[in-house]
Structure 1
Amino acid sequence: MPPSPCAVAEEQLAGELDSVRPALSAPYATALPGARSAVLSRLWRALAHEPLPWIARRETSGGELTLHLTDGRRLHGPRADPYATAAYVDEVRLGTRAYDRAGDLMRALGVPHGTEFAGELDHGTASLALSRADQPQDAAEPVTDWAWEQRVVDGHPYHPNCRSRQGFSVAEQLAYGPEHRQVVRLGLVPVEDALVRGDWPAWLWDGGRPLIPVHPWQRAHVLGVPASEGPAAHPLMSLRTLALAADGPHVKTALSARLTSSVRNISVRSVETSRTVSDFVQSVVTRTGAPLYVTRTLGAVSAHSPDLGAVLRESPAVHADPAAGERVVPVAALPLTGLPSSPEWLAGFARLALTAGLGLLEAGVALEAHGQNLLVVLSSTGAPRRLVYRDLADIRVSPARLARHGLRAPELAARMVTDDETTLRRKLFGSLVAGALAATAGSAPALRAALEAAVRDLPHGPDLAALCRESLPAKALTLMRLTPRRSGDLWARLPNPLVPQGDSYAP
């Protein structure tokens, strides 16, 4: 029997690795089984909880979950905690055949658009093994915010495409992936008649032409334009955003590659409004007194193309006091600190995050506060003091709620503006509760305990009431990848740990 496409993808990466970094070949082979389980666990979570049209119903019995497909087949695996982050699925059975690779399972299911998705899962599994293979055994605790970001090796805690980097060679993954801890040399492209907003720094000008920092992958694969040598920078979790110095500004570059869900770029409209949105949201934060800072947009520039633009933001580190022993840690990296293992610490962090998020939501701003956008300022003893939020591209703003507080929104992109309460709550609850807090807790029981302790101290209001009585929204990440012709978010409804439902976390 010929090897499966997933095995072929793993072997192809191994062949490239033998050529460019042979010292990692053995660690890569060792990491493959764990990477397969990690990706398969994320996919199983999606199959267990997302509204996939080819799953007719779900049944649990003992420790097993059975999915009844619309064509009569059955898929068997362990009961699925929607908030678990540890890999716990080594294989699932479709009929009588067992599958230990997510891509092979997707091909066997034979669902629309599953073949393309399977290829992404193959590549992502191999890339995750590569990321895990290239980790130091006894690394010291990071001292900068960007170094903490580079400790997040596994990527998105719930997305099956957590490490998919199609279009990147092994050499490029090793050179540009934040978990590989390399310094990236950006290019600088001068642009005539560029759109410039905010204070574009003097060192990024060539006479009367602004210089746009470009990622070397974008320059090589998309732009094909000459560029002068630019600054050295440290890649962050999003890959396309980099820290220019230890505590220096962060530059968000255009990087037109599909990473997890979509192809990212920097729209001309987002450059036009970037400084305005930044100042507006910070004004709402100041008005509400939320324990949160927004990283200011310093400047933005576009060549009137989504493939060539950049946004310069202040570093989150400027909102910590190093003299007092404070440090800034991305929420996605909190499990690496060991702090969330304390129920008291986790409850305090949940209280802080919900206070900020619900306060801004009530005022009319719904943040997309997932573990990459949200950071926490820790005291010298590790206590959560306040939050830092960055990247305002996907927030939602309610003019009606703002008006109740005597506020008015500036001109924003149309997709940002809505008074629909379901949309507003989905944005915050899906990112903060089912995302950042759930991944920090790592399981439904831990999340339940943290939320129960936190909500007792929060001001009562309709948003908190909805959080405590309704199922939790979460982006249906796999359904979105399997529905490529539809734009925008699709949603799943997850069991709410605050709503009594016995010990079952499968629907």
Structure 2
Amino acid sequence: MHRSPSAEAEVAAELADVRPELASRYAAELPGARAAVLTRLWRALTHEPLPWVTGRERGREGLTLRLSDGRRLHGPHPDPYATATYVTAVRLDETSYDDPARLPAGLSVPHGTSLAAELGHSVASLALSRAGQDAHSKEWPVRDWEWEQRVVDGHPFHPNCRSRPGFSVAEQLAYGPEHRPLVPLGLVPVRADECLVTGAWPQAMRDGERLLIPVHPWQAEHVLKRPRDLCGDGIAAHPLMSLRTLALPEGPHVKTALSARLTSSVRDISVYSIALSATLSDFAETLAARTDGLLHVTRTLGAATANSPDLAAVVRESPQEYAGPGERVVPVAALATTDLPESPAWLAEFTRLALTVGLRLLELGVALEAHGQNLLVVLSASGSPVRLVYRDLADIRVSPARLARHGIPVPELTGRIVTDEVTTLRRKLFGSLVAGALAGTAGSGAALRGALEAVVRDLPGTSDLAALLGEPLPTKALTLMRLSPGTPGDQWAELPNPLVSEVF
């Protein structure tokens, strides 16, 4: 077996200094973290259109990949919708690998060195995240941020699920939501006439003629280089699932710029998204009104940037604003921390709600990026899914042609958000909702197939539904994207459709 000591050893050494009481738990979590990341990597290798994989052969004992150099990589039969860890090692010819960070070097693929470093970070950070956990209470959380902080392992299908390069161990413990800290947001004063502002910037974040822009402390220290050039004592806030979005004490959420590469993306806030935020927020309210009360979209209260993606923030409603008496609003990614998805009837009920809303909006002309972080479900006191809440409109897609066909006024939007390309619209929704949120909740291809079969015949017939029923499911080729630094934009893979494939 091969080992990648660098990232794991670095975290262990830092942990011995800052939290020595976690050292033994961290070491105990490393094998499971390697297997969890390797399971995600095997999914990518078996389904993404990697140019150096020339064939895939299914046998009785697993799947074998034929590589362009003649070698063979063998592993278990893959389930692209499985969230449980089931890959503990793969075999490249006669060499066995149980550490995902060592595999890119063995494969000798272009840009494999950078991917290996990220995989090493992912393993080490995942072990650290798991080491800091106490047993979940059987009682459901009451506060919104408590639900968010139950998601320990990050993205259920991304090999870089916990990659946080540039964050020390002390910073991960101080800022990672799974470690349940209070994060002191800084407030950077900037003259209002030097900023782009949309919506109504909160009065509490003003100082005369200056805006006080909330800044994450990691950003203040490492990017802005001004950790002490702040106004007042700042705001203590609870980090949410994305790490750079936090719940303020009085309720609203604030998305901060965080110019670090987490999972795959650098989490800054573009001037483009600030400029469109108010228009998108108003438009989303109009659109949600066409869902018969099944969907709410959190309103953007204000957005501001000092004309830089490194110094910007968005303040928006908490999804809890849409909870009625006795109800809870739960991020879909956190549903796996409950026993609700274990019931086929509940899973089918949730799937029906999610597809009804998603397909209706797609038919009208809007494709949501409805993954488990952006999509939340309102649960009744008995746990039934009754409505959906959507947040963060920055990466939806809007079709002017479809909107016009349904008599909906086309908002003044520009750039990447606007497209009439059917494939792009379907990839956006199906890749995030079906191959993402629903698959992550179901936990396996068999469970996802059962939920889909229970509901699809009752959905309104549209060309989009026909595509969902009969075509492979799109998903972002996340590993291919990390191995293709010169190719801009999203790249895609096709997963076997659980309604069609006999694999499950």
Amino acid at match of 2:483: L
Amino acid at match of 2:102: D
Q: Is the 8 A contact 1:205 1:211 kept in 2?
A: yes
Amino acid at match of 1:119: A
Q: Is the 8 A contact 1:232 1:244 kept in 2?
A: yes
CA distance in 1 between counterparts of 2:92 and 2:399 reads: 46
Matches within 5 A, 1:420-439: 420-439=421-440
Q: Is the 8 A contact 2:336 2:441 kept in 1?
A: yes
- Tell me which residue corresponds to 1:235: 239
CA distance in 2 between counterparts of 1:371 and 1:288 reads: 20
CA distance in 2 between counterparts of 1:210 and 1:369 reads: 32
- Tell me which residue corresponds to 2:131: 133
Q: Normalization by structure 2: what TM-score?
A: 0.97
Q: Is the 8 A contact 2:177 2:243 kept in 1?
A: yes
CA distance in 1 between counterparts of 2:299 and 2:394 reads: 13
Listed one character per residue, the Cα deviations across residues 451-490 of structure 1 (whole Å, up to 9, x for unaligned) are 0111122111111111001010000010011111111110
SS in 2 for 1:112: coil
Aligned residues: 498
SS in 2 for 1:257: strand
Task: Note the residue ranges of structure 1 that are not aligned, 5 or more in a row.
Answer: none
- Tell me which residue corresponds to 2:158: 159
Amino acid at match of 2:244: R
1:288 Cα deviation from its structure 2 partner? 4.1
- Tell me which residue corresponds to 1:24: 22
Listed one character per residue, the Cα deviations across residues 285-344 of structure 1 (whole Å, up to 9, x for unaligned) are 2134361100000000000000000000000000001x3x10011000001111000000
Amino acid at match of 2:142: V
Q: Is the 8 A contact 1:468 1:498 kept in 2?
A: yes
CA distance in 1 between counterparts of 2:262 and 2:188 reads: 24
Distance 1:138 1:498, change over 3 A: closer
Listed one character per residue, the Cα deviations across residues 47-89 of structure 1 (whole Å, up to 9, x for unaligned) are 0100000000000101310000011010010010000000100
Q: Is the 8 A contact 1:269 1:413 kept in 2?
A: no
Q: Normalization by structure 1: what TM-score?
A: 0.97
CA distance in 1 between counterparts of 2:47 and 2:242 reads: 26
Listed one character per residue, the Cα deviations across residues 168-207 of structure 1 (whole Å, up to 9, x for unaligned) are 0000000000000000010000112111111111110111
Amino acid at match of 1:465: A
CA distance in 2 between counterparts of 1:12 and 1:210 reads: 40
Instruction: Tell me if 1:119 matches 2:117.
Output: yes
1:261 Cα deviation from its structure 2 partner? 1.1
CA distance in 1 between counterparts of 2:291 and 2:198 reads: 27
Bigger Cα displacement from structure 2, 360-369 vs 457-466 = 457-466
SS in 2 for 1:188: strand
CA distance in 1 between counterparts of 2:143 and 2:291 reads: 29
Distance 1:198 1:138, change over 3 A: closer
CA distance in 2 between counterparts of 1:418 and 1:138 reads: 43
Q: Is the 8 A contact 1:215 1:253 kept in 2?
A: yes
Q: Is the 8 A contact 2:291 2:357 kept in 1?
A: no
Amino acid at match of 2:246: L
CA distance in 2 between counterparts of 1:169 and 1:162 reads: 17
Listed one character per residue, the Cα deviations across residues 437-458 of structure 1 (whole Å, up to 9, x for unaligned) are 0010000000000001111221
Amino acid at match of 1:241: T
CA distance in 2 between counterparts of 1:443 and 1:379 reads: 25
Amino acid at match of 1:425: R
Amino acid at match of 1:79: H
Listed one character per residue, the Cα deviations across residues 240-277 of structure 1 (whole Å, up to 9, x for unaligned) are 000002x6000000000000112121111111110110
CA distance in 1 between counterparts of 2:476 and 2:235 reads: 36
SS in 1 for 2:306: strand
Instruction: Tell me if 1:344 matches 2:345.
Output: yes
